[in-house]
Structure 1
């Protein structure tokens, strides 16, 4: 299956018009021998972890009549962000969706699933690693986890960064290299700014000018005021544009 996914990534990457808007990678531990929801939940509640993600959430659902769990999920990172991790009790999810007793017997009793969701630039960056570096899918998932999350063994040290890594987490990420997914944004050029004005605010400017009977005094005043608030990125863009045009800055 990993080979088939690699081939698929290569085929899609070869297309001239391609877009990786979202990629989901999943890891299933059918016996919860390493990735164990209860163990991860305990570590999360007690703060026995460090993470580049600034938040984590817990989502539970229960049966009204019995108060039994129907679902248990932990999220690391915002679900609105371009990269987050979801860990949940897959056994509960499958049982909640199944209404047939004979179907339930085939569901593992201790099944934990870990998923990573990559969107937009992070999805594209992941695809580039997989295709250009011939990175196996499993290595990509584990490399991302190694970069963003570390479960720990509590110690008396006040600095969590010095706490030892939990052995089960070390086992999961054995020999994985951290996967750098941050993308340095290119500096905005004058052309970019002009295009943005054309796309986003030209109708607004037109409406204001029409309301003022075409009088440009308001616009001139606004531009003059804006010139006092130019940031360094604006000044750099101006300098770059003038140099390209052959005009002294």
Structure 2
């Protein structure tokens, strides 16, 4: 069971200017299903003056199963004394997609189904948030996408919705999940059964209770459903 997974995108050229994104949130130039944002600034006091040393923007509630964190990675590395060699490019800003529980599982399933991590991560971002430029006289949902944000997100990436609504399981996703998470354990258990002369693992499979969604998936993908049920029963 996956409890949490984070995806990190490193911005080496400064496309994500945090103060600019914060200002857009304040001006309502931020369209999202997420209803909350939080902007934090860190610094140190010198002669009663504040010297800014970093900025962080949270999109979404940190108590929810999905939220985004954008922060100044360059400042963080400088504070930690991290030195880069001549071949390394400094990371100016880092965008983190933080997922928990079922949403984390759905993200992994999408990646295993398509084997394209970039499309999965940016698909999630595009589904849940976009920054736009205000246009007087136009409805907010018709405001054009901010050019810097569009450059960051790239083109031709389909949104990925991490919905928790019941839906028919995707066969390819189920097989990918089996291959990476279940098959190695089953292989070990079958080897143990073979050595001990038992059929416990096969019996567990025969006695497994199918969910309504799994039964619907069988009906959709097979013709001889009654025969299959008979064989497993």
**TM-score when normalising by structure 2:** 0.63
Distance 1:20 1:110, change over 3 A: closer
Report the Cα offset of residue 126 of structure 1.
0.5
Aligned pair in 2 of structure 1 residues 42, 126: CA closer, same or farther (>3 Å)? same
Kept in 2: contact 1:21–1:123 (CA 8 A)? yes
CA distance 1:42–1:105, shift in 2 (3 Å): farther
Contact 1:150 1:169 in 2 (8 A): yes
Pick one of 153, 159, 165 that aligns with 2:139: 159
Where do 1:1-249 residues align within 5 Å?
19-32=1-14, 34-65=15-46, 67-98=50-81, 103=83, 111-131=92-112, 133-157=113-137, 159-173=139-153, 174-184=155-165
Q: Which runs of 5+ in 2 are unaligned?
A: 168-233
Contact 2:73 2:93 in 1 (8 A): yes
1:91, distance to aligned residue in structure 2 (A): 1.3
CA gap of 1:79–1:63, structure 2 versus 1, over 3 A, is same
Structure 1 stretches (4+) deviating beyond 6 angstroms? Answer: 104-110
* Matching residue of 1:200: none
Which consecutive residues of structure 1, in runs of 5 or more, have no partner in the other structure?
Answer: 1-18, 187-249
Computed over aligned residues only, the root mean square deviation of the Cα atoms, in angstroms, reads 2.4
- The answer to whether the Cα contact below 8 Å between 2:53 and 2:75 also exists between their aligned partners in 1 is yes
d(CA) in 2 for partners of 1:109 and 1:45?
29
Q: How many pairs align?
A: 163
Larger Rg: 1
Q: Deviations over 1:28-55 (max 9, x none)?
A: 11121x3332332332232211111010
Whole-angstrom distance in 2 between the partners of 1:155 and 1:125: 36
Given the superposition, is the C-alpha separation of residues 110 and 183 from structure 1 closer, same or farther in structure 2, using an over 3 Å criterion? closer
Cα deviation 1:159-214 (Å, max 9, x = unaligned): 2101111122222331110101011159xxxxxxxxxxxxxxxxxxxxxxxxxxxx
Separation of aligned partners in 1, 2:152 and 2:135: 21
Decide whether the 8 Å contact of 2:8 with 2:94 is kept in 1. Answer: yes
Q: Give the distance between the partners of 1:73 and 1:166, measured in 2 at CA.
A: 20
In 2, are the aligned partners of 1:69 and 1:92 still within 8 Å (CA)?
no
1:63 is paired with a residue whose SS is: strand
In the TM superposition, residue 108 of structure 1 has moved relative to its aligned partner by 6.3
Normalising by structure 1, report the TM-score: 0.60
